[in-house]
């Protein structure tokens, strides 16, 4: 369906079920006093939408526009790595995160760049429509730059990959791709050109979880996904790299407090 005319933004009647996405602009424009002054009415409108509980997201330097409207005061946010210092200096009353792909603070969302804006969009889709739908979207548009087709569930993936260290992303990619295989930390370290000691330290510092715990959580999420698709327990155990079906049962009980027979009732 086409539109006969463009509707001015201030004529939209939005609610808490709606989303506004603010794209990035050249920093020279964002730091131009006349530009900001000329768009005062837009900032006022954006501020009103925030208080109406409309969901507001920014991509890359679009965070500056949210900050200028005043809605980021006391909130967590991020922006392109080149401009995080400028954002902090210009708006000292906001909490700028320097090493995150995106942030989510109630109905406010910000992303570090264009690529992480896609990660943010998938996060929002997952939040509103569930992990399976978000994963299907990612596959449909072939978005694997920070994930692979064999990732278990988007939620587990996002929980430990909301960072910007490419070496740890590569390590996580290796783990996901070899989920059903036997490998060592040395194998991962060799792939990402790091020592095992440095990899172990940096992985925990960056993700907040050890490599062993991360691997186990991925296996559990993958197992739940496969079991929910009616795969046999023995087959799921093999695909997830468990030694036996009994080990799978023990791990599921440890992490989720459930057994394979309980999975169908959870979906």
End-to-end alpha-carbon separation of the chain, Å?
36
Average pLDDT of the residues of the chain? 82
- As a residue count, the chain comes to 267
- Residue-wise pLDDT for 103-153, tens only, equals 888 899 998 877 778 888 888 888 888 766 776 776 666 454 344 333 333
Instruction: Give tens-digit pLDDT for 28-47.
Output: 888 888 988 888 888 999 99
202 token code pair: 């940096």
- Laid out side by side, the sheet with 19-22 consists of 19-22, 55-58, 108-111, 102-105
What is the arithmetic mean of pLDDT over 184-198? 96
pLDDT over 70, % of the chain: 84
Task: Convert the pLDDT of each residue in 220-249 to its tens digit.
Answer: 888 887 887 778 888 888 888 888 888 888
Domains of the chain and CATH, by start: 17-119 (3.40.50.880), 214-266 (1.10.10.60)
Bridge partner residues of 57 (DSSP): 21, 109
State the residue for tokens 């509707």: 7
How many Cβ atoms are within 10 Å of 77's Cβ, its own excluded? 27
Q: Given a cut of 80, is residue 7 above it in pLDDT?
A: no
Judge whether residue 204 has pLDDT over 80. yes
Question: Exposed/middle/buried for 213, CB within 10 Å: 0-12, 13-18, 19+?
Answer: middle
CB count in 10 Å sphere of residue 231: 15
Confirm if 56 and 22 have CB atoms less than 8 A apart. yes
Strands 108-111 and 102-105: antiparallel
Written as six digits, the tokens of 244 are 């036996």
Token output for 157? 């993936």
Q: pLDDT tens-digit profile of 171-183?
A: 988 998 888 888 9
């Amino acid at each position: 369906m086409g539109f006969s005319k463009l509707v001015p933004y201030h004529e939209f009647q939005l609610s808490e079920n709606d989303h506004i996405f603010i794209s990035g602009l050249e920093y020279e424009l964002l730091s131009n006093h006349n530009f900001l002054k000329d768009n005062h009415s837009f900032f006022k409108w954006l501020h009103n939408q925030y208080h109406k509980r409309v969901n507001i997201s920014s991509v890359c330097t679009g965070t500056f526009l949210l900050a200028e409207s005043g809605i980021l005061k006391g909130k967590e946010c991020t922006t392109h790595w080149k401009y995080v210092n400028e954002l902090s200096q210009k708006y000292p009353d906001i909490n700028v995160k320097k090493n995150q792909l995106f942030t989510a603070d109630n109905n406010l969302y910000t992303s570090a760049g264009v690529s992480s804006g896609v990660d943010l969009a998938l996060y929002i889709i997952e939040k509103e429509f569930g992990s399976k739908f978000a994963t299907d979207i990612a596959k449909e548009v072939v978005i694997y730059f920070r994930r692979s087709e064999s990732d278990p569930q988007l939620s587990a993936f996002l929980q430990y990959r909301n960072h910007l260290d490419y070496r740890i992303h590569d390590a996580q990619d290796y783990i996901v791709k070899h989920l059903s295989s036997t490998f060592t930390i040395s194998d991962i370290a060799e792939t990402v050109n790091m020592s095992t000691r440095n990899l172990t330290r940096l992985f925990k510092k960056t993700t907040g979880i050890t490599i062993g715990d991360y691997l186990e959580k991925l296996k559990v999420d993958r197992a739940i996904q496969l079991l929910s698709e009616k795969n046999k327990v023995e087959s799921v155990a093999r695909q997830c790299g468990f030694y036996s079906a009994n080990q799978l049962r023990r791990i599921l009980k440890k992490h989720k407090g459930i057994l394979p027979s309980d999975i169908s009732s959870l979906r």
